[in-house]
Amino acid sequence: MTTESILNGLQTKIIGRTIALYEEVESTNELARQRGIEGGKEGMLILADYQTAGRGRRGRKWHAPPKSSILASLILRHRLVANQIGLPNLVGAVSIATAIRKVTDLPAMIKWPNDVLINEKKVSGVLTELEYDVHRHPFLVMGFGVNVNTSLADFPLELRDTATSLRIESGREISRATLIREILSRLEDNYLNLKDGKTAMIIEQANRLLNTLEQWMRIKTDDGIFDGMAERIDTDGGLILRDRSGQLRKFLSGDVVHATEGIS
């Protein structure tokens, strides 16, 4: 994967038009944060073949051997309004899931709020962070990783039952350049709609791809653990659950720690 192989055929106007590709970094999100503080362009893409300190939500480590995966971060200069706080991770997850479906025909689904699954195993994750530049103007760093050509042996033993890659699921090697172009294209469409306040299609796609829709699930939050049936993703990106008493409750953050029918 080279900068030229990504730009060749890329049809976006903003997202990914400026690319910084590294052989090895500590964290693409940290590099994007630094570039953003210094005035890096909207849509600038930081890519790496290997990360030594890649991380996901809640500080979890991201595992990926060299030249096997997509490890990327974008600078996005949209000032979120109050009802959009829960949407950036969803924009990333929807874009990645639909791109995977297009390129590989694999049945990628979303695990709310920010993961992409294939056959109930994680293949991708999104981490969006709010930052401020030297002029105190806010910007977003959207980091995402996709396990593309990772083999089962590449995963630590403790992840082999819960993680997968496109190569494992499809039985063939996937072009990282082709996939990143498709992701960037879909990200641009969804991101521009977010900027324009046109988020209905993003929410519709997210609900169609939600892996726990109308299933009993358990969410772990800072306030405790809650069970209920996943009713839908709301217009602000929050997940609405219906508990056994029929009461609806919205969650804007949390971890789905268990999902099955008939939680006792």
256 phi and psi angles, rounded to 5 deg: -80, 105
Please tell me whether residues 123 and 32 are part of one structural domain: yes
24 phi and psi angles, rounded to 5 deg: -150, 135
Last residue of a domain, one of 209, 226, 250: 209
Please tell me whether residues 93 and 168 are part of one structural domain: yes
Cβ neighbours for 80, distance < 8 A, ≥ 6 positions apart: 87, 88, 130, 138, 140
Distance CA 128, CA 141 (A): 5
Q: Looking at residue 234, which CATH number applies to its domain?
A: 2.30.30.100
One-letter amino acid at 140 equals: L
Please tell me whether residues 40 and 85 are part of one structural domain: yes
Residue 83 lies in a domain: yes
Please tell me whether residues 27 and 100 are part of one structural domain: yes
Q: Looking at residue 150, which CATH number applies to its domain?
A: 3.30.930.10
* Peptide linkage before 113 cis (omega within 30 of 0): yes
Helix residue ranges per DSSP H, the chain: 3-7, 28-37, 88-104, 166-170, 176-195, 200-209
Residue 252 carries which DSSP code?
Answer: S
Cβ atoms of residues 169 and 106 within 8 Å:
yes
Q: Which domain holds residue 234?
A: 216-259
Question: Is the pLDDT reported for residue 257 higher than 50?
Answer: yes
The overall longest dimension of the chain from CA atoms, in Å, is: 56
Please tell me whether residues 143 and 229 are part of one structural domain: no
How many folded domains does the chain comprise? 2
What count of Cα atoms within 13 Å lies in the side-chain half-sphere of residue 235?
7
Question: Is the pLDDT reported for residue 262 higher than 50?
Answer: no
Cβ atoms of residues 109 and 209 within 8 Å:
yes
- At 82-131, the pLDDT tens digits run 889 889 999 999 999 999 999 999 999 999 999 999 999 999 999 999 99
Residue 264 lies in a domain: no
Distance CA 158, CA 166 (A): 19
Question: Is the pLDDT reported for residue 212 higher than 80?
Answer: yes
Q: Taking residues 24-44, what's their average pLDDT?
A: 93
Q: Taking residues 77-83, what's their average pLDDT?
A: 89
Distance CA 21, CA 31 (A): 11
One-letter amino acid at 210 equals: L
Please tell me whether residues 193 and 222 are part of one structural domain: no
Quick one: pLDDT at residue 57? 47
Q: Is 22 exposed, middle or buried (0-12, 13-18, 19+ CB in 10 A)?
A: middle
Residue 193 lies in a domain: yes
Please tell me whether residues 201 and 225 are part of one structural domain: no
